[in-house]
Structure 1
Amino acid sequence: MPPTLVLIRHAQAHHNVDRKYHSMPDPELTETGIQECLELREHLKATLPADRKIELIVVSPMRRTIQTCLTALDWLIEAGVPVIPDARWQETQAKPCDTGSPVSVLTTEFPTIDFSSLDPVYPDKTSPAGAAYRWSKPAILARGQSALADLYQRSEDVIAVVSHSGFMRTAVAGRWFQNADYRIFDFEDRTGKDESEPYRLVEWEVTKKNGAMGRSREEPVELGEGLPEEN
């Protein structure tokens, strides 16, 4: 059986407060964001069924997602659940606020995270070397499928992913995510399907309306919606 996915959007960061902070490189969480993480922490602990266990955490290697992970999921990390930073789960655009920091900086700021498996091209999104992360519909949809294909093959019962609204909405789930909200998904049954068929997710009823925290917009979004064909 493929794992169940708990897809979590990071808590409030500075660029979520005012558009003037869109020029801020890789912004951190606000004080409100830290409080949201604490609320998220307690909600997650109370919501998942007792017989289901988060056995892996995948995190976008950006400051706001790592901070959300370390604050909201500390109880899992302290219990030995591994954390894997994965560049495929970073945000979509190449604006300063959506571009990550060099690994040399991250390893200093977050010494408890092992970045050795991170794609060495990170945080490049604009050069030919970073083409897989460029701001275009083909690249972003392909990145979403690559990320899902990797998780589909894993053996863990439940995997928590801390990522970004734009990427999860347009490339993975087709659903809206407010800051520090989450949704729970199973993989659609692939029995009898060709390998070329895309990976799709089926959301749990408990989060299907406005997200688990009740903060997110209800209407679904077509994958790829609003993305440029090429950039």
Structure 2
Amino acid sequence: MIGPPPPGATAVRLLSVKSLSELSATSKILHLIRHAEGTHNLCEIESKKPIHHDAKLTTKGKDQCFNLSSKTRSLAVEAVLVSPTTRCLETATLSFQHCIDQIGTPDVPFIAYEEWRETVNYLCDSRRSIDALKTEFRHVDFQFVTDNHDPLWHKYEEQFGSHTDHTTLRESNDPSGLYNRAHSAWRILLSRPERELALVGHSAFFMHMFTPLFDELEGLVSYEDSIVEEIMRDRFDNCELRTVVVDQP
């Protein structure tokens, strides 16, 4: 279960891309990718229906990943971090297929983190059990996802009711919960030993951090200049890749 972040403030600064030789010892190159088109993206009203529980990619979404893979081949990523939702796991797998050999063994680690999930509002934002996901995505390391069943959906179902009883926002109406998760997410990324990482995640969670949408998240992310800020505050398209340098101010 995701709990409060460790004591002490977490803050990150996003900078334009430079070569690793020009970066500080604590800097990382981060390739942020929003998942490709999922079934829930086809129609906003339809997205709340049970059929889109842990939504999968559409045929168009898979094609988007194929197109993105022509760019990811040139990236020197040392690890791929990914939200443990099916659409993100599929996006990571298809976009970095060149990092997985013919028998399914990855050349770089693919690591799932609950902390980088989408804001949990509707059934499409909930996930399947880790047992089920492990069967489908054998190349992904799920050791840091400690709950087999979805703890975030369970938390907000207890707080707001079932998907039929409560049909509006859940986690997006919980600033303190998002504060804890966003800080934990950045702490995890900063603690990784790799200098160049890919991260496959979700647009709303990205927006909460980069815009931000709540006062509680003010100061979590700062920017080198207005150009970087404008780029990162804009909404991510499906399967869009943005590259920044992450450092601690």
Q: Do they fold alike, i.e. is TM over 0.5? A: yes
2:42 aligned partner: 17
**Counterparts of residues 17-166 of structure 1 (less than 5 Å):** 17-19=42-44, 20-23=46-49, 24-46=52-74, 48=75, 53-78=76-101, 80-120=107-147, 123-127=150-154, 134-135=171-172, 136-166=174-204
1:185 aligned partner: 244
SS of alignment partner, residue 90 of structure 2: helix
SS of alignment partner, residue 185 of structure 1: strand
1:59 and 1:161 in contact (8 A); partners too:
yes
| C-alpha separation in 1, matches of 2:90 and 2:179 | 26
| C-alpha separation in 1, matches of 2:184 and 2:248 | 17
Query: How many angstroms does 1:134 deviate by?
Result: 4.1
Moved over 3 A (4+): 126-131, 172-175
Query: How many angstroms does 1:170 deviate by?
Result: 1.0
SS of alignment partner, residue 92 of structure 2: helix
Which structure is richer in relative contact order (CA contacts within 8 A, separation 6 or more)? 2
| C-alpha separation in 2, matches of 1:9 and 1:142 | 21
Query: How many angstroms does 1:116 deviate by?
Result: 2.7
Q: Would you say how many aligned residue pairs link Structure 1 and Structure 2?
A: 184
Structure number with greater Rg is: 2
**Counterparts of residues 184-223 of structure 1 (less than 5 Å):** 184-190=243-249
SS of alignment partner, residue 245 of structure 2: strand
2:120 and 2:153 in contact (8 A); partners too:
no
2:28 and 2:197 in contact (8 A); partners too:
yes
Query: How many angstroms does 1:179 deviate by?
Result: 0.1
Q: Normalized against structure 2, the TM-score is what?
A: 0.67
2:130 and 2:148 in contact (8 A); partners too:
no
2:84 and 2:114 in contact (8 A); partners too:
yes
SS of alignment partner, residue 54 of structure 1: coil
2:79 and 2:194 in contact (8 A); partners too:
yes
2:22 aligned partner: none
Query: How many angstroms does 1:43 deviate by?
Result: 2.2
Aligned partner letter, 1:96: L
2:209 aligned partner: 171
Q: After superposition, give the CA deviation of every residue in 1:134-183 in whole Å (9 maximum; x if it has no partner).
A: 44122213212211122123221211000011111112554421000011
Counting aligned pairs with the same residue, the percent is 27
Call closer, same or farther: CA 1:102–1:72 in 2, change over 3 Å.
same
| C-alpha separation in 2, matches of 1:120 and 1:22 | 24
Q: Which runs of 5+ in 1 are unaligned?
A: 191-231
Query: How many angstroms does 1:105 deviate by?
Result: 1.5
| C-alpha separation in 2, matches of 1:177 and 1:142 | 23
Query: How many angstroms does 1:56 deviate by?
Result: 0.8
Which range moves more in the overlay, 69-78 or 113-122? 113-122
Which range moves more in the overlay, 145-154 or 115-124? 115-124
Q: After superposition, give the CA deviation of every residue in 1:46-98 in whole Å (9 maximum; x if it has no partner).
A: 4x4xxxx2001100000000001110011124461101100011110231001
CA RMSD of aligned residues (A): 2.4
Call closer, same or farther: CA 1:127–1:63 in 2, change over 3 Å.
closer
1:92 and 1:134 in contact (8 A); partners too:
yes
Call closer, same or farther: CA 1:17–1:129 in 2, change over 3 Å.
closer
Aligned partner letter, 1:40: L
